[in-house]
Chain A
Amino acid sequence: MRVAALAVMSVVSAMAADRTLLSEGMPNAVYFSADGKTLSSNCRDGRVRTWDVASGKLLKEKTVGRAMLIAPDVYAEQDEKAQTIRTWDLSADRQLQLINGTGRQRTAISRDHALMAMASPEERSVRILKVGSAEAARVMADGIGGASSLVFSPDGETLVSANYDNDIRVWKTKSGEMVKKVEDLTGAMFAAEFTPDGKELIMAGLDETVYIWDAKTFALSRKLKGHGETIAALAISPDGRTLVTGGFDVVSSKNPVKVAFWDLGTGKITRTVGAPHQVASLAFSPDGKWVAMTSGEKEVSLWSLGETGR
């Protein structure tokens, strides 16, 4: 018994965050840059901060208002009074798109930055826009609760919306045709990401379960249990072999939670570490050697996974 407890402790201490990038104002979504050298997070104090990964030094602080990073180097800035959403290229400091006449929306951008999607809980719809064009290319009916996750496939051909009403809808982005509706889940999916090869879609949320879908047929291929709490965030390693899930305590976002590392080959958790508060976001570096996490008021944590990236 004692030996087992010691073993658990050593795993946890080995996984203590290698670096904590001190921030203010509640860091939220987190992304590495494409070259992996910098890490950015939008904070709830209205700023996007960028750090150097190697030194942990704060490189840049940009005041953006109410904004959310939606891809590496892209953030969406929402102005509810003016009813606008603007998307920006963070490093070039260049506006990509201005959309007028919008209410509260969840926003996503395709990997090639050619398409944007916006989900409106008021209109109960999802719109697809071509970046650079103000007109909606497609308007699709969504569920009644608003999108809890909105994600493009890596090739931009497919858009997936998970709704707070528990249903998932999958559309072809070119035609707007709904190709799949999943109606048998009994909890909202708060996190969704396609595997890097685009072959699978991984989702998790209220019901503490990781769902792995075939990205061609959207048939459920696997269900992984073991995180043991509602899952708020997930990230997949660039080699597609490791999944990391971050928790959410349903009584308070300020209660401590877990971060679980999974071997996607075996479907088993390999390590579990603690996070001070609800995990807002997780990201792998492009070389797979680092995992970044935002959790709590002031910290962005970085874990080094070593040379193997596992």
Chain B
Amino acid sequence: MKPSSTVSRRAMLEICISRGILAAGAATAVSQTQLLAFWQKAEGEAQRPTSPEVLGPFFRKQAPDQRVLRAPGDAGFPLRVVGRVVNTRGQLVEGATVDMWHADHSGRYDTRGYRYRTKFTPDAKGDYAIETVMPGHYADRPAQHIHYLITAPGHKTLITQAYFATDPFFEGDVEKNWHKRGIADHRDLIMPVKLFEGGAGADQPAHAEVTFDIVLVKA
């Protein structure tokens, strides 16, 4: 957060109005002290927009709404992807739809059908959960990744990708290698991975879990 002395009254008003904390008509009646409090609230609630990435050549429209993408017997380590779709104030985005697609364990995209492809609407709280497998590596883009395309009324369409901090491609040092070979464009898209042990007494089989929240910007 910037010190308030470097932010003009006008800039603070603009931020408060744009985030809906202050009505545009009320701006002239607000004292400097009140405005500072509003502005700090706005900055405190602010969520950084999710960084964009390219769409890539393998996107297919009209994917079915499916939350379980892995079929029994599919090769690959089970992966659960969870997250929520919000705006830059952390609020629920109404009417969002999410396209998600990735390569199978062997690094192959399904170009004939819709394996490992889904288009869904997050639940009433903006949350989503997808059961799939860790995407494979393929020669032309050798970092594991999941593609996303998110649209919502009144918001800028976001195209992005999630990467995995555990990917051998990053050689165990994401800070040093995140931009290796120019594949990932933004450090914040390389997500930490939680690993769950399976076995006797465990609720679920062994799997990995990634949280990928999506923050949309107003159009």
Contact = CB atoms under 8 A, between A and B. Distances in A.
A206 B110 CA distance: 10
Contact of B61 (A166, A250, A253, A254): A166
Contacts of A156: none
Interface in B46-92: 54-62
A267 interface: no
B157 A185 contact: no
Which of B58, B61, B107, B149: most chain A CB closer than 10 A?
A: B61
Interface bracket on A: 20 to 34
Contacts of B106: 251
B138 A251 contact: yes
A146 B106 CA distance: 27
Contact of B60 (A187, A208, A251): A187
Contact of B54 (A121, A185, A187): A121
Given A121-B54, A145-B159, A187-B111, A253 B59 contact: no
Given A145-B55, A145-B59, A145-B159, A252 B111 contact: no
Interface string B82-119: 00000000000000000000000011110110000000
Given A185-B61, A206-B60, A230 B54 contact: no
Interface in A161-218: 164-166, 185-188, 190, 206-208
A246 to B, nearest CB: 15
Contacts of B62: 186
B139 A253 contact: yes
A148 B107 contact: no
B60 A250 contact: no
Given A164-B59, A166-B61, A187-B111, A252 B139 contact: yes
Interface of B: 54-62, 106-109, 111-112, 138-140, 149, 157, 159
A144 interface: yes
Contacts of B157: 144
A166 B57 CA distance: 9
Nearest to A187: B60
Contacts of A165: 55, 59, 61, 149
Contacts of A251: 106-108, 138-139
Nearest to B110: A250
Nearest to B62: A186
Contacts of A190: 57
Interface of A: 121, 144-146, 148, 164-166, 185-188, 190, 206-208, 230, 250-254
A165 B63 CA distance: 13
Given A250-B111, A252-B139, A144 B55 contact: yes
A186 B58 CA distance: 10
A232 B112 CA distance: 16
B59 A188 contact: yes
Contacts of B159: 144-145
Which of B54, B111, B139: most chain A CB closer than 10 A?
A: B111
Contact of A148 (B57, B108, B139): B57
A148 to B, nearest CB: 7
Given A185-B61, A251-B106, A251-B138, A230 B55 contact: no
A252 B55 contact: no
Contact of B57 (A121, A144, A164, A208): A164
A187 B114 CA distance: 11
A58 to B, nearest CB: 29
Nearest to A146: B55
Contacts of A146: 54-55
A174 to B, nearest CB: 30
Contacts of A164: 55-57, 59
Counting from the closest, the 5 A-B pairs by CB-CB distance are A145-B55, A252-B139, A166-B61, A164-B55, A186-B60
Contact of B140 (A144, A166, A206, A253): A253
Given A144-B159, A251-B106, A166 B60 contact: yes
A252 B107 CA distance: 9
Nearest to A248: B57
A187 B117 CA distance: 13
A252 B61 contact: no
23 contacts: A145-B54, A145-B55, A146-B55, A164-B55, A164-B57, A164-B59, A165-B55, A165-B61, A185-B61, A186-B61, A186-B62, A190-B57, A206-B57, A206-B58, A206-B60, A207-B111, A208-B111, A230-B111, A250-B58, A251-B106, A251-B108, A252-B138, A253-B140
B11 to A, nearest CB: 26
B102 to A, nearest CB: 13
B187 to A, nearest CB: 20
A254 B107 CA distance: 14
A225 to B, nearest CB: 11
Contacts of B109: 250
B55 A206 contact: no
B59 A250 contact: no
